[in-house]
Every structure is written in C-alpha cells, then in structure tokens.
Chain A
Amino acid sequence: MNITPDPWIWLSALLTLAIFSFLFRDNIIYQFAEHLFVGMSAGYLIAITWHNQMLPNLFEPLFIQGNLVYIIPLLFGLCYFARFIPKIGYLVRLPIAFLLGWGSGAIIPAIFQRDILKQTQGTLLVREAFSKWDTGLWAIIMLIGVISVLIYFFFSKERKGIMKPAANLGIIFLMLGFGASFGYTVMSRISLLIGRLQFLLGDWLGIIK
C-alpha cells in the first residue's frame, strides 16, 4: 500500500466516500458533499459563461472595440428580462421568435437528412447487402423489424387479421431494443463504479497500479 500525500486526491477521495455514504442512508455528510457539488458547478458555469461567452462575444466588441452593431444582440438579450415588468412583458416574444425561427430553419432540413432520408435508405434491401449471407440475413431482419414496429405504432386501423401478428412482432423488436438499452445502462453504471474504485484503490490508496 502506497497512500498518496497529495491533499487534492485526499479531498477527492473523502468527497467520493461522502457521496457513497448515501447508499447506506441519507446523512449530513452526503448532504454537505452534494451541496458543495451543486454550488461549485453553478459557480464554475457562471464564470465560464462570463469569460467564454459574454465577454468575448458581447462586452469586448461593444464596449472596448466600439462595434455598435452589437447593440442589437444586447437589446434582444435584454428583452428576456422584460418578463419581470408586466407592462412590457410581451417583448420577450421577440428573442424567442428569433430563436425559434432561426433554430427551426437550421435544424429541420438536417434532421430530415440525418434521421429520415439516410435511415430509410439504410433499411432498403440493396444488392450490396447480400454480398455475404450474414449481412443479407441482418438486412432482412432489420426490414421486418422496422415494418413491424411501424405497424405497432399505426393506430388508424384496428388490429385484426395480419395487423395483429405484425404488431405483436413489433412489440418483440421493441422489447429487444429496450433490453439492449437497459443492458448498456447497467454497463454504464458499473463502469462509473469501476472508475471510482480505480481512483480509490489506485490514485488514493496505491493498492493497484
């Protein structure tokens, strides 16, 4: 065992143990560590927003370089605070309308490209997919999966005849998807625990290399 003398690692280790103490039950040590984390995160975000966003993108160009065009975004930004004054509260709609309009214009075509066109293309049975037997088989399974799940979410027709088994097959594909997601979530959480234990046993206590 080769315990580190580094005070920062000690602090980090003790705070980790403080958070872990919640696993037994809620307690004051856990609450202290939690509040410390929330406070520090908020402070860090405020500082980084000021130095990384407000200062270089608004205050320096406007007040130091004297670029008056920046008055427009300043006024737009100030409109958000109009909400606090009921008489001019409607002004908040201006920046929201701008953001919604600009955001929709930027995002909608890209989403069509990313999620609809490319994904539909990926579901098509093309000749290249059958260059090997296994890729061909997966392509067919994927097509069946997509169609059956779409049928499951098609609510305009009663589930009778072929629609019923197709929708049930869709449920199986959905469950497989949920199962994979849950498995990955467990893996993720265990990874976080491993990371902390590697830190405690390695960086702090020096038991593992």
Chain B
Amino acid sequence: MNNTFDEKILDEAQQWIEQNKKVILATVIQTWGSSPRPIGSLMIVNNSGDFSGSVSGGCVEGEVVRQCLDLLNDKNDFKKIDFKVSNESAWNVGLACGGEIAIFLEKLKK
C-alpha cells in the first residue's frame, strides 16, 4: 500500500485562477541520487511570485519561481529544467544534498 499525503496544490491552483492569476504547474519528473522530494512532487507559481508546494527541500525553489515567471512572459506554454549538484559555492543554485532533478513547467490555461 502506498499512501500519499493529500495534495491540495491543484485546488489551490484553481483558486488562484479564479482570482485571475496566471499559474504555472511544476512537477518533478525525474530524480537521480539523493534528491529531497520524490518524482511526482508538485509546486505552483503565480504571476505575483507566490508559490505553494515544493520540488526540493528548499534548495531550488527560488530559481524555479524565477523560471516560472520567465515562462509566463514567453510564448511557449511549457519547459523542462534540470538541476544538478552544486559543486562551487553553497550559495549557488543547486542541490546541496547531491541529487539531480528534472522539473516540467507548464502553464495552466484555457
């Protein structure tokens, strides 16, 4: 038996849309090594820069928000982004824990 926690992320996305926000859904689609959140983890970002959910343990969320805001202003509706272990400064964007993740970003729209 495999239990998940009850994700309210999609419900929240819908509430944002009802408030006329533009919303991007980010999904962890691949992981290698000791990535902090499993495949299938969700996060949403809106055009005000608010975000909910998580795709890592806090390591890359800031960068994901930035990429989502870029995508909102782009003619493309989706994008795949990858993060690898950060081997320079710990302040660089990357997974301090040594994992690698791929995230799929997509617009939620009509």
Indicate, yes or no, whether A interacts with B: no
Task: Give me the interface of A with B, judged by CB distance under 8 Å.
Answer: none
Task: Give me the interface of B with A, judged by CB distance under 8 Å.
Answer: none
